[in-house]
Structure formats: C-alpha cells, structure tokens
Structure 1
C-alpha cells in the first residue's frame, strides 16, 4: 500500500522537476534572446550613426566613395533591423514585457534621434561630457530595458527617472515610464508621464491608446488588458469608453480588482459631475 502511495508522489516529484527544468530553460532562452536583442540594437544604433554621418558628408561633398559607403552602411542597417524583428518573434507573445519592448524598439524617431546625437558627440567630443553623455545615456536605456525583460518594473522606472533628471526633454523616456507605471498600477503617475511626453511631442498622445488596444487584439480574453485600457480612457476623460473597457474586463473576470476599482472611480467622478 505504501509503495502504491509513493508512486504518484515520485511521479509528481519527477513532473515538478521536469516542469522546473522546462521553466528554467525557457527563462534562459528568454534571457539569451534579450541579450542578443540588446547587442543587435547597440550595433544598429552605431551603424545608424555612421549612416547619418556619411549622409551628411555626402550632402556636402558628393562622391562615388561616399555613395558606396552610404549604400553599404544602409544595407547593414537593413539587415540588423530584420534580425531584430526575427529576435522579437522568438519572444513569448503573451509577455507584457515583450509588448513593451516591441513598443520601445518600434520607436524609430527615438532611435534615429539617438543615432544623430552619437554622430554629434563624435564630431564634438566636448559635448558628450556635458550632462549625460550619449553613450552612457544609451546604456541607461539598455539597462532599463533589461530590467523590463526581467519584470523588474520599479527598477526600470527608477532608471528612467534618473535619465529624465539629466535629459528632461526625452519624450520617449516619459512614454516608456508612463507605460511601466500603468503596468504597475500607478495610474496618476502614468498620467503625469504621458502628459510630459505630449508636451514635448504632441504626436505621443495619439500613440498611447492604440498600444493597449493592440494588446487586446492579440489576446481578446485578457481581462487585465481591458482594465488597463479603461484607465487610459479615464486619463483622457473618455468616460463611456472607460466604462465599456472596465465592463469588458469584468465580463471575462467578474472579480478583476483593477476593473472594479476603475469602475468605482469612474462612477464617483460621474456622480460628482452631476452634483
């Protein structure tokens, strides 16, 4: 009898170890992918800086040599961009961190701006010594991105706060910090970050809501995504859309605390308006 009872225990133990090993393997794969992704982005920014520099030189003094160099560097940028997309496809779609990374890596304007800044620092080394040097600035962004990949959101937020102390005009840092605050339930803080990003570049305001709508398109049963979208609508005073999003979240998970508190906050605001 004892042996019969031990068998399922042993099988369960073996299954648990296998599951743990599989989870560990998946985590290692994810870390390796992010490591390769970070290396890819570092090279990409450097080549984009070289491309911008060569393009500027070619505009001043056109020559066959510069044209060949421009084509060669442009091809490297294209290959690295495609490699980046392939690496992203290897990451789990349902991972919130991956969604944020996709957003960060898709920010073409920020990346090109960074490349131009590196080019300017190379042309004027003294400029890199004022405040936060561009290379260090980029490394801080990479460190924050790594924290995001490890679900260490508060640490990532702290890094972006440090970046913004030195570069308060970095709208992408405000945007990323806003998304991180939403993911950690700090909605008032997120609202301030998004507001600051929009003050720097009004286009940022139009990119916030679609980010959360895309999460729902990829996983229509994600009640947390609906709840976060509800809070985004609440930030923008879109009360009906906020109510719809919260109710959609509750239709999937009636006990979703985020949706319940959001709906309560919304109804409280509406009752105050009716007084």
Structure 2
C-alpha cells in the first residue's frame, strides 16, 4: 500500500506541475488551491460512494475517504461554482463546427452571405441549424468575429481559421483548457483504474531532436489532424441526428503536441531571503 501511495503521488506531481504553473501565472495562491482541493476531494468522495451504491454518504464516510476532519467536511455545504462556460454547449462552437463540415463538401462555403432568401446557403441558416433556433444568428456571428475566427465584409461572413481556438479570450481559453485537459485525464485515469470500456489514450515520444525538427513534426500532426477533425465533425453530427430523444452519451476526441528545449534542468535548492540593503 505504501508503495502504491508513493507511485500515485509521483503521478499526481507530474500532472499538477503544469496546473500549478498556470495557477501561479494567474495569481492563484496556496489558500485558493487548498480550498479548491478540499472541495474537490469531498465532491469526488461523494461520487465514489454513490458509485458503490451509497447515494448519501455520511460525514464519517466522507472523512475517512478524504482524510479531512468532520469539521472540514461539514463546512462544505454547497457544490463548487464553475464560472467558466461549458465549451461543448457553445452556440458559436456548434455553428463553427457545422460550417467547417460544410466547407469539406464545397470549398465555396468559405464565404457565406450573412442572410439570403429562398433557402440559399447563408450564415443565418448555419447558425439556426446548429443552435436549433435558440440563439439569434447575429449574436453568434458577433461572437465568432470577436474571437477572430470569422470576418465580415459587405454582408458576407468568411471563415478565417480551421479550428475553434478562441485566442485572445482568456475565459474561453481557460474553459477549453479545463474541458480538454479534464477529459484527456479522465481517459487515462479510467484506463489506469481498469474501468471499462478501455479508452483510446496513446502518445509517441522522442528525445534528442533539434527544435526545428520538433516544429516540422508539429506541422505534420496539424495537417493530419485537420483532415481527421473534419471527418470526426461529420460523423458526430450524423450521430447526434440519429440519436434517440433523451440520449445522454457524450464523447470528446482530442490530440496534442508538446515540445521544448530541455536544456540544463534547474538545480533544486532551498529558497533564501535576500539580504537587506
């Protein structure tokens, strides 16, 4: 058991390092992270007991599972409030995906009139289909323009990127980071714990390359992903149309590339106060 704890903590340290890097860059301090970790521990403990057939675990059960004292568990009286948007629910993301799918069938759809009569292809039509008429097409178009994914000139909207990456919008970028990172780790954790079905979660690694070679491989991955992205978007759209009313399944398929110049690793040392001058 002690060895398993050591291994698990080492894995958690690797996972948390980029999370802590993000937190520090955003001004998050130890008390914020401590409170968040406590809340997540309790919520996940409740989920674990629920999955074991105990819908309402008591304070003692939650305390034993998390290692928190009963007072800390009692203080947790409400669910974590998530201020970030859910990326899969975005009308702008759905419209962008449908538009990109149409583009694979006809390159002329790169540019669409904002509105058009006689059921001709238009941005308004795409927005209405993707949002099921719940969001006005002008609102969606303004959002895509704000995110620098679409431009508008003389009543014509044009796609300016091939992926829904809201650069320049910190809240949306953090939402995508959270959603994509969460589901990537969900797949890896599910496989590690032996849950079924086994999820696809693979990576290829090489060391000893130049940064130029890394970037060349990065470009290759982008090119291959672009084609696969269109195919997946089409298949998912068709699957949604075929799904029975009330279907609750969800799926996220992603890909990532990361490279860096490792250089000389920093030496670990104890922090010292600067001498007063």
TM-score range normalised by the length of the shorter chain: under 0.3
Whose helix fraction is larger, Structure 1's or Structure 2's?
Answer: 1
When the two structures are superposed, what TM-score results if normalisation uses the length of structure 1?
0.27
Higher RCO, 1 vs 2 (CA within 8 Å, ≥6 residues apart): 2
When the two structures are superposed, what TM-score results if normalisation uses the length of structure 2?
0.27
